[in-house]
Amino acid sequence: MWLRHLLVLSLLLGATSVASAGNGDAVPVSNEAALMGQAAVANGTGAAAMYYNPALLGRLEQSRADVSGSAFHLRISRSADLLTTSASELAVRNTEIVSIPSALAYARPVGDDWRVGFGVFSPAAQDFQLTVELDGREGDRDGGLRITLLDETSIYVGVFSVARRLGRGLWLGASLEGVYGTAATTTFLTGRIAGPMGGFVVSSEEEIELDFGGAAAQVGVTWDVSPRATLALTVSTPIIALAATGSVRGVAASGGDGELGGDTTSFETFSEPIPPARVGPVDGVSFRAGAEVRATPRLRLAVDGEVRTPMTNADLGTEVDAFWNLRLGLEGRVAETFWLAGGVFTDRQGEREVSAFAVNRVDFWGMTAGARWQSSYLLAEGEQRDRVTFGSVLALRYAYGRGSVGGLRANFQAASEAEGLTFRAAELVQHELGVHIGAWTAF
């Protein structure tokens, strides 16, 4: 029946929103990534650089604390055919604004050959609100469909990293990562068909809360092949175990004769836990290689590429093909304490089937631009350090995305509820604009 179909839709939406909260580089978490097109595997001198390559901690000569965030992250989505009937298509536009505290990290040298660091990062967040309404007048029958979807998702990654010097200019690093996320999805739906031969009405409200967690690991290496060039390589595991618990609750009603409250009305109230589950990997193994070239004392270039292996997860019912990404950044020193930077990047996803309403698969192409400045102050004799340095970063990020999103086709002339609503893939275009603000101190 149509009512049961809607409940399954909501369950699918809650289960898959974790994987669709954003692409892998939707929110840059280090200052260098935010400035230079997210080319960060060989490019970084701060504590937050451990998120992209733990071996970059080898560049630290002093203790370092980093804090950064996206002052705002604006996402505009448009689909020309998210909801359709046999006679019409409904174009939907949605605007989403979130503020994300993306990084808090600390790292320090331990002797000459060791570095340690830890941090908390928020690489993805979603605050999605969507209301769509479709007029279903077709022939001698009258109907309509209204859906309101609210989805809030946050993901946090705790990282502990260690780096060791293997030789002159050669560093090896390793990280352990703990991942925690929370998602809450609420769906309101009403649908109506009424005509000379009677009809039916459905109304439902479902609320899903989901907590999930897991672990991952990363190994990286950096090699200063010359005073002007550094090569880097990282290998990252997927989240190797994802445990999820939560609850589903709601109320739904289905009525014949085109109205609710009559003798043919059926009500269903439900509240039940989502059983704890291990659902395995949610992405493939990532290989990332890059280089930093210090062309002159005032100009440096960073480039990196990524390849991610295919992933199949039977528990989630997902299958993602292999994919690649490229990133390029440039920074120039224009004054003694002031730098300008910019870059371009791709943020693509592997091909996968879109299987639930509003769940999307989008490939992005984008650019960044920004500035950083720093000041150093000498300390009095007798202090443990001879100086302390403060720095600030302001960067802009724009990305254009195109892909597909789970849509619905409503049949207001359906002879039964089972034929009233079906899934279909719809086109999706997205624009993202973010402002990154960062600060750091070395002591």
User: What CA–CA distance (Å, rounded) separates 238 from 243?
Assistant: 14
- The CATH code of the domain at 2-442 is 2.40.160.60
pLDDT exceeds 60 at position 149: yes
Question: Which of these, 118, 122, 121, 123, lies nearest to 163 by C-alpha position?
Answer: 118
Question: Which of these, 322, 327, 308, 394, lies nearest to 365 by C-alpha position?
Answer: 327
The CA distances from residue 232 to 100, 131, 181, in Å, are 28, 46, 30
**In 10 A of CB 335, how many CB atoms?**
9
Q: Are strands 64-84 and 387-410 parallel, antiparallel or unpaired?
A: parallel
User: Which pair of tokens denotes residue 54?
Assistant: 């733990």
Indicate the domain borders of the chain: 2-442
Instruction: Tell which wins on pLDDT, 308 or 4.
Output: 308
With bands split at pLDDT 50, 70 and 90, how would you rate the model's confidence at 207?
confident
What letter would DSSP give residue 218? E
User: What CA–CA distance (Å, rounded) separates 340 from 133?
Assistant: 47
pTM of the model: 0.80
Question: Which of these, 312, 308, 310, lies nearest to 324 by C-alpha position?
Answer: 308
In percent, how much of the chain has pLDDT > 70? 73
User: What CA–CA distance (Å, rounded) separates 246 from 183?
Assistant: 9
With bands split at pLDDT 50, 70 and 90, how would you rate the model's confidence at 135?
low
The CA distances from residue 22 to 86, 149, 335, in Å, are 32, 17, 37
Instruction: Tell which wins on pLDDT, 399 or 353.
Output: 399
What's the rounded mean pLDDT across residues 21-33? 72
pLDDT exceeds 80 at position 132: no
> Nearest 5°: phi and psi at 90?
-115, 120
